[in-house]
A and B are shown apart, each in its own frame.
Chain A
Amino acid sequence: KAGVTQTPRYLIKTRGQQVTLSCSPISGHRSVSWYQQTPGQGLQFLFEYFSETQRNKGNFPGRFSGRQFSNSRSEMNVSTLELGDSALYLCASSLNGGVTYEQYFGPGTRLTVT
C-alpha cells in the first residue's frame, strides 16, 4: 500500500507570494491533517479535513487555509507569505480521523520564504 505523498518536496518563495501544497493520503483514508514544524515551535497542528469538511482547526491566522477533494486529496494554501512561514509542512492521513496513533505522516514539504 502506497504511503502518504506530498508535493512538492521543496519550495522557495518570496515574501508576499502565495503557495499551495498538496497531500495525497493513503488509499481509503478519509482524514487528512496538516502540521507546521519549525525548530523553535516544534510540530503545530494547522487543521484537519474529513470527507471534504474542515473538522478541526489550530491557532493559525486566516492566511493559512486548506481544502479536501472528493478523492480525499488535500491542499493547503498560504497567502501573503512571511519569513516566519519558513518551515517543514507535514500532512498525515488516517482512516477516520481522531488524530490518534492511526495517523501516517508524509515526508513533508520544506518551504523557504526569502
Chain B
Amino acid sequence: EDKVVQSPLSLVVHEGDTVTLNCSYEVTNFRSLLWYKQEKKAPTFLFMLTSSGIEKKSGRLSSILDKKELSSILNITATQTGDSAIYLCAVEAPQTGANNLFFGTGTRLTVIP
C-alpha cells in the first residue's frame, strides 16, 4: 500500500530557530515529491523534487530529496511567526485510472515570538 509518513507530527520552536521536517515514502512508480504549506485552509505549493541530492531553495526554506532513503527533508532557517502552519508532503505516483498523489498527515509547526 502506498504511503507517506511525516515527522514530527507537531513542533513548537522560538523565532530564530532552525527546523527540519521529515517525509518518508513507500510508493510504486515514484515520479516526484512535493511540499505544501497550509495556513488556515488552502495548501500552497512550496517545492517539487524529482532528483536526488539537488537542493531546492526559496528564501529561508530549502528542501532535498534522497531517493535511496526514500525520504525528503524541508529546512526552515531563522523561523518567523509567519512560518506557523501545517507543512504537507505529497508524493506523485501515477497509476492508471487511480490516485496519483499521496499526502502525509502533515507537520504542524508553531513558531513562538
Contacts and interface: CB of A to CB of B under 8 A. Distances in A.
Interface of A: 4, 33, 35, 40-45, 48, 55-59, 88, 90, 98-101, 103-108
A57 B90 CA distance: 17
Contacts of A58: 98-99
Interface in B21-44: 32, 34, 40-44
Contacts of A44: 103
A100 B32 contact: yes
A99 B42 contact: no
Contacts of B48: 100-101
B42 A100 contact: no
25 contacts: A4-B42, A35-B103, A41-B105, A43-B88, A43-B103, A43-B106, A45-B102, A55-B97, A56-B98, A56-B99, A56-B100, A57-B98, A58-B98, A58-B99, A90-B41, A90-B42, A90-B43, A99-B101, A100-B48, A100-B92, A101-B32, A101-B34, A101-B47, A103-B45, A106-B42
A93 to B, nearest CB: 11
A87 to B, nearest CB: 12
* Chain B interface residue bracket vs A: 20 to 34
Contacts of A100: 32, 34, 48, 92
Contact of A59 (B44, B99, B106): B99
A107 B42 contact: yes
Contacts of A35: 103
Given A42-B103, A43-B103, A57 B42 contact: no
A22 B113 CA distance: 39
Nearest to B48: A101
A104 B97 CA distance: 21
A30 to B, nearest CB: 16
Contact of B100 (A4, A41, A99): A99
A44 B102 CA distance: 7
A58 B90 CA distance: 15
A45 to B, nearest CB: 4
